[in-house]
Amino acid sequence: MIQVQNLTRFYGRTPAIQDVSFEVEKGEILGFLGPNAAGKTTTMRILTCYMPATSGSAKVAGFDVFNQSLEVRKRIGYLPEQPPVYMDMTVKSYLSFVAKIKGVDSRERKNRINDVMQKTAITEVQDNVIRKLSKGYKQRVGLAQAMVHNPDVLVLDEPTVGLDPNQIIEVRQLIKNLAGNHTIILSTHILPEVEMTCQRAVIIHRGRVVAQDTIANMTQHKRSLGRLVLQVDGPGAQVRDKLASVHGVKKVHGGAGDRYEIECEVGRDARRELAQAVVQNGWGLLELRPKDKDFTLEEVFLNLTTEEGGAKA
Amino acid sequence: MRNFLAILERELKSYFFSPVAYVVLGFFLVVTGLFFYNIVNWFDRMSMQSMMMAQQYRQMPQPINVNMMAIRPLFHNIAIIGLFLVPGITMRLFAEEKRQGTMELLATSPLSNWQITLGKFTAALVFYLIMLLASGVFVGLLFLFGNPEVMPILTGYLGLLLVGGCFISLGLLFSAFTENQIIAFVGAFAVNLAILSLGWLANFVGPNLAAFFSSLSPIEHFDDFAKGIIDTKHLIYYISFMFGGIFLTYVTVESGRWRGAR
């Protein structure tokens, strides 16, 4: 549905994004992650035809965002960081205006507006002037605006900013429900949001893509490198030597009492061999487990986007 | 067309949902009223003098033409008031959209920049027309107490609309330059005055240059309309002036799409 290839954008001589490439399948929710000023908004603005790229190309539904921008704009709903609302209009008349300029047929307009107002839970404020609404309501009006023409693609720049915890849950649920019929790109720096709503994530840092994968793969990424914790009932030094000689074991740290910490060779799972070695010697195998749990997305993110972590990763 | 109408409708609503329309309209009527009062006073004195002269020389009093002596100066004054007020009408058109982020909505909607530009221009023109119609109150008063001719009044209003259209096209352009409404106002106002002063320059240069300079000023072209003459020369001047302003605005907005600086 969305193909982005080697997208680069300079502001003067400073690159905002460089060589950004990713794809989004139809019906998928893609999380677009990155610290502030990583280039999330720039990428989204290029995708929504708000600004051109310096080089590279982006296609939405097969149309080029620059050369066929009108076709792209018909198919895209966009919620910028700052909800693009007219402060002195009422919610209803604002949505009606947006429906008109997005090309919603006049017969369907009323239904569409009622539908999105219901989905974003703003029906009760429909006759209020937007200026007088709270931040959360404004944000939801912005969300309603992005969906009013039932677009194939939704681009949401930090959609849950300014909402209270209940509303955040509602909006996430709403976004989840939209997947399937809509392809969604969701930018955020709130990590649980990505874990909860997205199937895949692109992590961008200093204008470059540093990781892209499914959430599941990202968080399991380094499990095989992990360490094992072993508790053995047996004569200390002997056990230690034996364990160190097991195939696939790189190093044995340890032993606080009868606990050993085993560092495996990269990509090897030595648990089977270790268990065998212990049992064959007649010692008691009390415990054998991987030391590292799955990485949380937060750890992956921090690893990739902070300097010290970046070097380690 | 639907998009153009949607923009036009929203702009007009936004004039009248906010205090802008009422403040501008109010001040316009107060200032026009003051000028009108002075003009009528002056007209009154002229009539008295003419009567006295007539009595002195035992003649029929010279009829004084209401169109020429009252309405024409009034129209001139309205044109000049427009020079001050129109930048106030136009300053928010693009600047406000940029400041509150709604330009992002317009630019990512399937709208052409012509639709946006023309929609906004027309909205300001309609508002200006409403202002002119409101000033009809003063002209109407003259009908109560005198017998002005109708046609020169109509051509005068047409001329005023065209002069206003020029000011609007310039104001629109300055609004497209910036997201700061004050800059948009001051810029448009300064250029309006500068163009007007080119007309005055005609008094101080040789005859050839004088014709050139006086033909630059929108106010100079207005004279014939106020007299009741519709000359294609002036029509072409006004239409090309407006088109120039609108086209430059379009180019400014369109260039934003290329540069991404909006």
Compute the distance between CA of residue A68 and CA of residue A132 in angstroms, rounded to an integer: 38
Number of domains comprising chain B? 1
Q: Look up residue B195 and give its two tokens.
A: 């163009």
Q: What is the CB-side half-sphere exposure of residue B110 using CA atoms within 13 A?
A: 18
Q: The domain that contains A245 carries what CATH number?
A: 3.30.70.100
For residues A170 and A231, state if they share a domain.
Answer: no
CB contact under 8 A, A101 and B262: no
Band (pLDDT 50/70/90 cuts) for residue A147 is very high
For residues A193 and A230, state if they share a domain.
Answer: no
Judging contacts by C-beta atoms under 8 Å, the chain A residues touching residue B98 are none
Q: CB neighbours (10 Å) of residue B10? A: 24
What are the CB-based long-range contacts (under 8 Å, 24+) for A9-18? A9/A39, A9/A42, A9/A46, A9/A51, A9/A53, A9/A54, A9/B260, A10/A54, A15/A207, A16/A42, A16/A207, A17/A42, A17/A43, A17/A204, A17/A207, A17/A208, A18/A207, A18/A208
Q: Tens of pLDDT along A3-49?
A: 998 989 988 888 889 899 999 988 889 988 888 888 888 999 999 98
- Phi/psi region, residue A29 (left: phi>0; alpha: psi -120 to 50; beta: rest), is beta
Compute the distance between CA of residue A68 and CA of residue A304 in angstroms, rounded to an integer: 35
Q: The domain that contains A146 carries what CATH number?
A: 3.40.50.300
Position A305 in a domain: no
Q: Tens of pLDDT along A50-74?
A: 888 888 989 998 899 888 888 999 9
> Which residue has 């260039």 as its token pair?
B255
Position A235 in a domain: yes
Average pLDDT, chain A: 83
Judging contacts by C-beta atoms under 8 Å, the chain B residues touching residue A102 are 109-110
How far is B21 from chain A, CA to nearest CA, in Å? 13
Interface probe for A, chosen from B10, B99, B108 (most Cβ of A below 10 Å), is B108
For residues A139 and A240, state if they share a domain.
Answer: no
Smallest CA–CA distance from A94 into chain B, residue: B10
* Domain of residue B168, residue span: 2-259
Compute the distance between CA of residue B32 and CA of residue B77 in angstroms, rounded to an integer: 8
Q: How would you list the strands of the sheet with A2-11, edge to edge?
A: A14-24, A2-11, A55-60, A63-64
Q: CB neighbours (10 Å) of residue A78? A: 27
Number of domains comprising chain A? 2
Q: What is the CB-side half-sphere exposure of residue B252 using CA atoms within 13 A?
A: 20
Position A295 in a domain: no
The shortest CB-CB distance from B6 to any of A78, A82, A101 is to: A101
For residues A68 and A201, state if they share a domain.
Answer: yes
For residues A164 and A188, state if they share a domain.
Answer: yes
Q: Can you give the pLDDT of all 262 residues of chain B as single tens digits?
A: 889 999 999 999 989 888 888 999 999 999 999 999 999 999 888 888 888 888 888 887 777 788 878 888 999 999 999 999 999 999 999 999 999 889 999 999 999 999 999 999 999 999 999 999 999 999 888 888 888 888 989 999 999 999 999 999 999 999 999 989 999 999 999 999 998 888 888 888 888 888 888 888 888 888 888 888 899 999 999 999 999 999 999 999 988 777 765 4
Q: What is the CB-side half-sphere exposure of residue B245 using CA atoms within 13 A?
A: 27
Band (pLDDT 50/70/90 cuts) for residue A307 is low
Q: Tens of pLDDT along A186-220?
A: 888 777 788 888 888 888 888 888 888 887 777 66
Residues on chain B bordering chain A, Cβ-to-Cβ distance under 8 angstroms: 2-3, 6-7, 9-10, 13-14, 17-18, 100-112, 257-262
Contact assessment for residue B172 and residue B252, using Cβ atoms and an 8 Å cutoff: no
Judging contacts by C-beta atoms under 8 Å, the chain A residues touching residue B9 are 97
B56 CB burial (10 A radius; 0-12, 13-18, 19+): exposed
Alpha-carbon distances of A158 from A139, A140, A215, B21, B77, rounded to whole Å: 10, 12, 18, 36, 53
How many CB contacts within 8 angstroms connect chain A with chain B? 80
pLDDT at B184: 95
Q: Does A308 have pLDDT greater than 60?
A: no
Judging contacts by C-beta atoms under 8 Å, the chain A residues touching residue B17 are 88-89
Contact assessment for residue B226 and residue B72, using Cβ atoms and an 8 Å cutoff: yes
Position A303 in a domain: no
Most confident of A114-118, A194-198, A225-229, B221-225: A114-118
Task: Give the pTM.
Answer: 0.83
Q: Tens of pLDDT along A270-285?
A: 788 888 888 888 888 8
For residues A77 and A121, state if they share a domain.
Answer: yes
* Domain of residue A196, residue span: 2-220
For residues A156 and A284, state if they share a domain.
Answer: no
3-state secondary structure at position A6: strand
The shortest CB-CB distance from B105 to any of A51, A69, A84 is to: A84
For residues A236 and A208, state if they share a domain.
Answer: no
For residues A29 and A120, state if they share a domain.
Answer: yes
Q: Does A225 have pLDDT greater than 70?
A: no
Short-list A95, A163, A103, A99, CA closest to A130: A95
Smallest CA–CA distance from B260 into chain A, residue: A51
